[in-house]
Amino acid sequence: MKKALLLSIKPRFADAIFAGEKHYELRKVKPKVEPGDLVLVYVTSPRCRLEGAFLVGTVTEMSPQRLWHRVRSGSALTKAEFMAYYDGKATAYAIGILEAWRLETAVELSKLRSERIVPPQGYHYLSARETTSLLGE
Which domains are present in the chain? 4-135 (2.30.130.30)
For the chain, 137 residues long, give each residue's pLDDT as a single digit of tens: 567 999 999 999 999 999 999 999 999 999 899 999 999 999 999 999 999 999 999 999 999 999 999 999 999 999 999 999 999 999 999 999 999 999 999 999 999 999 888 887 777 889 888 888 888 76
Specify the pTM: 0.92
Cα distances from 8 to residues 45, 47, 111, in angstroms, run 10, 11, 16
What's the confidence (pLDDT) of residue 137? Answer: 61
